Chains A and B, each alone.
Chain A
Amino acid sequence: MTSPSGSGTREDWPVDLGLTPAEEELDMSRRNLLRGLGLAGIAAAAGTLGLISYRDEAEAATVAGAGGASGEEHQWCRVVDLRACKGERKCVSACQVRHGLSPDQTWMRTLSWHDEAGNEFFMPVMCQMCQDPPCLKVCPVSATTKSDQGVILVDQDICIGSRACMAACPYEARYFNWSEPTPTHKMPAPSPNTPEFPSNQLGTVGKCVLCADRIPYSSDLPACVEACPRGAHFIGDLVTDVAVNGQSTVRLSTFLREGNAVRFKEELGTNPRCYYIPGNGQPVGGPLVGVK
Chain B
Amino acid sequence: MSSILDARPASGQADVVDAVMRPFRRPSARFWLAIAMLAVVVGVGIGAWVYQLREGMGVAGYTDSSFWSIYIADVVAVIGVSYGGAVVSAILLLTGASWRAPLVRMSEGAALVTVIVGALFVIPHLGRPDRLLGMITSANVASPVFWDMMAIVTYTFATLVFFLLPLVPDTAILLSARPEELGRGRRLLFHVISRGWVGSAHQRRVLHSAMVIVAIVIIPLAVSVHSVLAWAFALVSRPGWHESIWAPYFVIAALYSGVALVILVIAGFRRGYHLEAFIGRQHFVRLGYIMVALGAVYVYLTLADLLPSAYVGEAGPTEIIYGMLQGAVAGWFWLFLVAGTILPIVLIALPWTRNIWGVVIAAVLVVIGMWIKRVIMIVETSGYDTLAKSFDELFHFTWVSIAVTLGGVAAIPLMLMLLFRVVPLMSVAEVQEVLAEADDTAAEPSHPGAQSRGRAVGAAGAVVLLMLTLGALGVTEAQPAYAASEGVAATDPAADATVAVTAAEDGPSITVTATVTSGGSPVEGALVNFYESTTMFAPGDNEVPLGAVQTDSSGSAVVTYVAATTGPRTVSASYRPTILGDPVVGTAELEVTESVSTYAPPPTSTLEGAGKTLTTATFGLVIIVFLILIAQVVRVRRACRPASDGTPEQALTS
Determine the chain B residues whose CB is within 8 A of the CB of A111 once the complex forms.
387-388
Q: Which residues of B contact A177 (CB under 8 A)?
A: 56, 127
Q: Are B543 and A249 in contact (CB under 8 A)?
A: yes
State which of A26, A48, A122, A231 has its C-beta within 8 Å of the C-beta of B637: A26
B502 interface residue, CB < 8 Å from A?
no
The reply to whether B630 and A22 form a contact with Cβ atoms under 8 Å apart is yes
Binds A, one of B143-151, B158-166, B248-256, B572-580: B143-151
Contact A54 B138 (CB under 8 A): yes
Known: A141-B134, A240-B534, A286-B387. A247 touches B634 (CB 8 A): no
User: Beyond A26-B637, A202-B56: 8 further Cβ-contacts under 8 Å?
Assistant: A13-B137, A88-B473, A141-B139, A167-B236, A177-B56, A177-B127, A249-B544, A292-B467
B138 & A167 in contact (Cβ 8 Å cutoff): no
> B126, A161: Cβ atoms under 8 Å?
yes
Would you call A172 and B143 a contact (CB within 8 A)? no
Which residue of B55, B145, B149, B468 has the most chain A CB atoms within 10 A of its CB atom? B145
User: B619–A51 contact, CB under 8 A?
Assistant: yes
Tell me whether B64 and A179 are in contact (CB under 8 A).
Answer: no
Task: Return the contact of A54 from the options B141, B241, B385 (Cβ within 8 A).
Answer: B141
A178-B57, A239-B599, A249-B542 known; A138-B138 Cβ under 8 A: no
User: Chain B nearest CB: distance from A177 CB in Å?
Assistant: 7
How far is B127's CA from A180's CA once the two chains are assembled, in angstroms? 11
If over half of B's interface residues share one DSSP class (helix, strand or loop), that class is named, otherwise mixed; here it is: loop
Q: B631, A37: Cβ atoms under 8 Å?
A: yes
In the assembled complex, 24 residue pairs joining A and B whose CB atoms fall closer than 8 Å, in A order, are: A2-B131, A10-B138, A26-B634, A27-B651, A41-B627, A44-B622, A48-B623, A88-B473, A104-B63, A159-B131, A163-B68, A164-B145, A166-B67, A231-B483, A240-B534, A240-B565, A242-B536, A244-B537, A248-B483, A250-B545, A254-B547, A268-B237, A271-B602, A292-B468
**Given known A-B contacts A7-B133, A218-B537, A250-B545, A160 and B127 have beta carbons under 8 A apart:** yes
Interface size on B, residues (CB 8 A): 107
Bound-state Cα–Cα, A156 to B242, Å: 28
Q: Is the CB of B564 within 8 A of A163?
A: no
State whether B605 touches A203 (Cβ < 8 A).
no
- Give the interface of B toward A (CB within 8 A): 55-59, 62-64, 67-68, 125-146, 149, 232-233, 235-238, 241, 315, 319, 382, 385-390, 466-476, 478-480, 482-483, 534-539, 542-547, 564-565, 597-599, 601-602, 605, 612, 615-616, 619-620, 622-623, 626-627, 630-631, 633-634, 637-638, 641, 648, 650-654
Chain A: minimal CB distance from B614 (Å):
11
Residues of A within 8 A of B (CB): 1-4, 6-7, 10, 13, 22-24, 26-27, 30, 33, 37, 40-41, 44-45, 48, 51-52, 54-55, 58, 75, 81, 83-84, 86-89, 104-105, 111-114, 120, 122, 125, 131-132, 134, 137-143, 158-164, 166-168, 170-172, 175-180, 201-205, 216-219, 221, 230-232, 235, 237-242, 244-245, 247-255, 268-269, 271, 286-292
Q: How far is the CA of A253 from the CA of B597 in the complex (A)?
A: 10
* CB-contact partner of B536 in A1, A237, A255, under 8 A: A237
Closest Cβ of chain A: how far from B155's Cβ, in Å? 16
Q: Are A239 and B565 touching (Cβ within 8 A)?
A: yes
> In the complex, are the beta carbons of A238 and B597 less than 8 A apart?
yes
CB distance from A138 to the nearest CB of B (A): 5
CB-CB under 8 A from A13, the residues of chain B are 136-137
Report yes or no: B232 in contact with A164, Cβ–Cβ below 8 A: yes
Q: Are A134 and B236 in contact (CB under 8 A)?
A: yes
> A251: which of B140, B382, B545, B631 is its contact (CB, 8 Å)?
B545
Are B476 and A4 within 8 A (Cβ)? no
In Å, the complex CA distance between A290 and B631 comes to 58
Inter-chain contact B537/A170, CB cutoff 8 Å: no
CB distance from A175 to the nearest CB of B (A): 5
**B474-A86 in contact (CB<8A):** yes
Q: Which residues of B contact A33 (CB under 8 A)?
A: 634, 638
Residues of A within 8 A of B134 (CB): 4, 7, 140-141, 143, 158, 160
**Is there an interface contact between B141 and A55, defined as CB atoms closer than 8 Å?**
yes
A-B contact count (CB 8 A): 321
Q: What residues of chain A lie closer than 8 Å to B637, measured between beta carbons?
A: 26-27
A167 contact set on B, CB distance < 8 A: 67-68, 233, 236, 238, 241, 382
B126 cross-chain contacts in A, Cβ below 8 A: 160-162, 203
Pairwise interchain contact A6-B138, C-beta atoms closer than 8 A? yes
Q: Inside 8 A of B59's CB, which chain A residues have their CB?
A: 179
A101 to B315, CA, bound (A): 32
B154 to chain A, nearest CB (A): 11
What is the minimal beta-carbon distance from A133 to any residue of chain B, in angstroms? 11
Q: Quick check: A4 and B469 within 8 Å, CB to CB? A: no
- A120 pairs with B471, CB closer than 8 A: yes
**Contact between chains at B56 and A178 (CB < 8 Å):** yes
B315:A288 contact, CB within 8 angstroms: yes
Residues of A within 8 A of B139 (CB): 51, 54, 140-142
- Contact in complex: A244, B476 (CB < 8 Å): no
**Which A residue's beta carbon lies closest to that of B316?**
A290
- How far, in Å, is B27 (CB) from chain A's closest CB? 33
Residues on A with beta carbons closer than 8 Å to the beta carbon of B315:
288-290
Say yes or no: B389 contacts A7, CB within 8 Å: no
Question: How far is it, in angstroms, between the C-alpha of A239 and the C-alpha of B598 when the chains are bound?
Answer: 7
Across the interface, do B140 and A139 meet the contact criterion of CB distance under 8 Å? yes
